[in-house]
Amino acid sequence: MKNANKFSNKQILILGLAKSGFAAAKVLSNLGARLTVNDQKPFEENEPAQELEKLGIKVVCGGHPIGILDDHFDFIVKNPGIPYSNPLLVKAKEKGIPVITEVELAYHITPAEFIGITGSNGKTTTTTLIFEMLKHGEKSPLIAGNIGTVACEVAQGAEKENMIVTELSSFQLMGIEDFAPKIAVLLNIFDAHLDYHGTKEEYVKAKARIFENQTEDDYSVINVDDKDVLFAAEGSKAKKIPFSTTRVLQTGAYMKEQSIYFDDEKIIEIKDIVLPGVHNLENILAAVAVAKLVDTPNSAITQVLTTFTGVKHRLQYVTSIQNRKFYNDSKATNILATKKAISAFEQPIILLAGGLDRGNEFDDLVPELTHVKAMVLFGQTAKKLERAGRLARIEMIKLVDNVEAAVKEAYTLSNEGDVILLSPACASWDQHKTFEERGDIFINAVHKLK
């Protein structure tokens, strides 16, 4: 491990368990830190907390008491989902206690370099594409972050020859101090997570932190079609590598004559790419740029692009029933993601949407809804989405209790040739623990129709 001594014998508070907190606790315990774990969930219902207590770790459950800070902590490792407005974190700031996320921990404990991918949409697809391209190019990549395995868990077993391809959220990036990816990718920026960040300006600042510690020896891969991305990358000291879906570039990744290019080299014809949706070309260009920067052979890149059909819960084809095609896009947790999903189809669409109310309206979705023939809505935002549907002059709009009921209703409204698309435009937390859970319920409900 690279800087294991940074945490050895330090007094550290793990705030919030879930996957990242649990993994961070085990890693730090192995490094010899003196740990306290604090989680909102009551101890008797909290299996991870019970397991950590058996390892001899001090556990405090059932709330976040401010008095816990009397133990004079050297660090707090915060679950990304806990807002900085939490009273305990406000008090920690007053006391000058550093607050990090486990991504910062991961960076300090491994000699491996990081490829960090962030953006409002397309992170999971791009991260997966990069990982697969590097794997086929025999580059010894590892994959981590929001996409599955917690970064610090991956990092503790990584070696210098590995590259850790990491999906990063704005929440995680707010909790870094030294984290500096060898290659940082910023795909796009859209109004998202404003309930957490407060304003778009703060959200952009959080995304921009991916470039904060890069040097002239690093690379920043940026979407030059997005003015907010350009603004976020202004301060980057790294070599800027552009990509664009709208213009031919002198350097970087772009499209020309119905093909993908990097610099002046043709990589693949667009017709040979199997990943559906025009919006995915943005993700593909970013992935190609990263792959070329680490000298991945074109054969490895094209092998992935001619076989990769997408990731689960992101425009995932489920099945066809009576010539109706069902797609699971449960990972579409904001308006832009749903707009892109709708634009991927030419067939009539029955849209299943709704979820956590973050305070926004859905007026930005209205122009895209002209391609939708019916809406089936659920969750806290059902009424707001209904209003957007009425503005788009959609005649068939139904409100139901949940995703399972939405599948049944959508099938009833459908005709042969229709696409039935779950693309919620909202987070899942009003009714589900994760978007994956929501997507799995959709898939099971579809198969029940058979």
Query: What mean pLDDT do residues 78-84 have?
Result: 88
Give yes or no for a contact between 321 and 411, defined as CB atoms under 8 angstroms apart: yes
Residue type, 11: Q
Please state whether 411 falls in left (phi above 0), alpha (psi between -120 and 50) or beta. Answer: alpha
Looking at residues 22-30, what average pLDDT do you find?
Answer: 95
The response to whether 121 counts as a known ligand-binding position is yes
User: Is the pLDDT at 1 greater than 80, yes or no?
Assistant: no
Three-state DSSP class for residue 186: strand
pLDDT value for 3: 63
What is the greatest pairwise CA distance in the chain? 65
211: which residues sit within 8 A by CB, 6+ positions away?
184, 186, 220, 232, 233, 235, 236, 237, 238
Q: Note the pLDDT of residue 18.
A: 85
Please state whether beta strands 419-422 and 324-328 pair in parallel, antiparallel, or not at all (unpaired).
parallel
Pick among 3.40.1190.10, 3.40.718.10, 3.30.565.10, 3.50.50.60: CATH of 104-305: 3.40.1190.10
The answer to the question of whether 414 is labelled as a binding residue is no
Residue 122 annotated as lining a ligand binding site: yes
Q: Which of the following CATH numbers is that of domain 10-100: 3.40.50.720, 3.10.20.90, 3.40.367.20, 3.40.190.10?
A: 3.40.50.720
Burial class for 58, CB neighbours closer than 10 Å (0-12, 13-18, 19+): middle
CATH topology of domain 316-449: Protein-Tyrosine Phosphatase; Chain A (3.90.190)
For residue 198, the model assigns a pLDDT of 57
pLDDT class of 200 with cuts at 50, 70, 90: confident
303-314 pLDDT, tens digit per residue, is 999 999 888 888
* pLDDT interval class at 2 (50, 70, 90): low
Identical fold between 10-100 and 104-305: no
Interval 203-225 mean pLDDT: 96
Percentage of the chain beyond pLDDT 70 is: 97
State whether the Cα torsion 242-243-245-248 is positive or negative.
Answer: positive
pLDDT grade for 199, boundaries at 50, 70 and 90: confident
Instruction: Check whether 197 has a pLDDT greater than 80.
Output: no
Q: Calculate helix-pair angle for 123-136, 298-305, nearest 10 degrees.
A: 130
Whether the per-residue pLDDT at 329 is higher than 90: the answer is: yes
- 71: which DSSP letter? G
Confidence label for 4 from pLDDT (cuts 50, 70 and 90): low
Confidence category of residue 191, pLDDT binned at 50, 70, 90: low
Q: Which of 208, 230, 210 is nearest to 218 (CA)?
A: 210
56 is in an annotated binding site: no
Q: Is 119 annotated as a binding residue?
A: yes
For range 345-352, the mean pLDDT: 94
* Model pLDDT for residues 278-300, shown as the tens digit of each residue: 779 999 999 999 999 999 999 99
Extents of the domains making up the chain: 10-100, 104-305, 316-449
| 90 burial type by CB count under 10 A (0-12 exposed, 13-18 middle, 19+ buried) | exposed
Q: Is 123 marked within a binding site?
A: yes
Query: Of how many residues is the chain composed?
Result: 450
State the chain's mean pLDDT as an integer. 93
DSSP 8-class letter at 90:
H
**Is-above-0.75 flag for pTM?**
yes
Give the pLDDT confidence of 111-170 residue by residue, as tens digits: 999 999 999 888 989 999 999 999 999 999 999 987 768 999 999 999 999 999 999 998
